[in-house]
């Protein structure tokens, strides 16, 4: 008989999904923030305004922080899975 997952496992799944989503967004942001390119006399960055807002310390780039959060999300999901299986 399948019992519903404990409330704590559901909370851990939600936290892991949030970590993974934020990590993926930070990783993509870090990958796409390339320097502007010149095309003949037209500066392609005329409409491009890079964000000066830092998410993290300058010592840790955003793409690395994103990968850390993705890893944390996976670890939390695995821990939630083990926790819910162990409780059954």
Mean of pLDDT over the chain: 76
Residue 74 lies in a domain: yes
Residue 83 lies in a domain: yes
Average pLDDT on 15-37 reads 81
- Other CB atoms within a 10 A radius of the CB of residue 80 amount to 22
Average pLDDT on 23-50 reads 65
Residue 36 lies in a domain: no
Question: What is the structure's pLDDT at 46?
Answer: 52
Question: What is the structure's pLDDT at 37?
Answer: 56
Residue 47 lies in a domain: no
Structural domain range at position 27: 7-31+58-88
Residue 49 lies in a domain: no
Residue 51 lies in a domain: no
Residue 27 lies in a domain: yes
The string of DSSP letters for 10-29 reads HHHHHHHHHHHHHHHHHHHH
Q: Is the pLDDT of residue 1 over 50?
A: no
75 vs 55 pLDDT, higher one: 75
């Amino acid at each position: 008989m399948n019992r519903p997952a404990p409330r704590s496992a559901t909370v851990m799944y939600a936290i892991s999904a949030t970590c993974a989503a934020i990590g993926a967004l930070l990783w993509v942001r870090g990958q796409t923030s390339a320097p502007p390119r010149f095309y003949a006399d037209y500066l392609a960055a005329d409409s491009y305004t890079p964000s000066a807002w830092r998410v993290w310390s300058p010592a840790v780039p955003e793409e690395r922080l994103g990968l850390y959060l993705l890893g944390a999300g996976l670890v939390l999901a695995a821990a939630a899975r083990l926790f819910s299986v162990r409780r059954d």
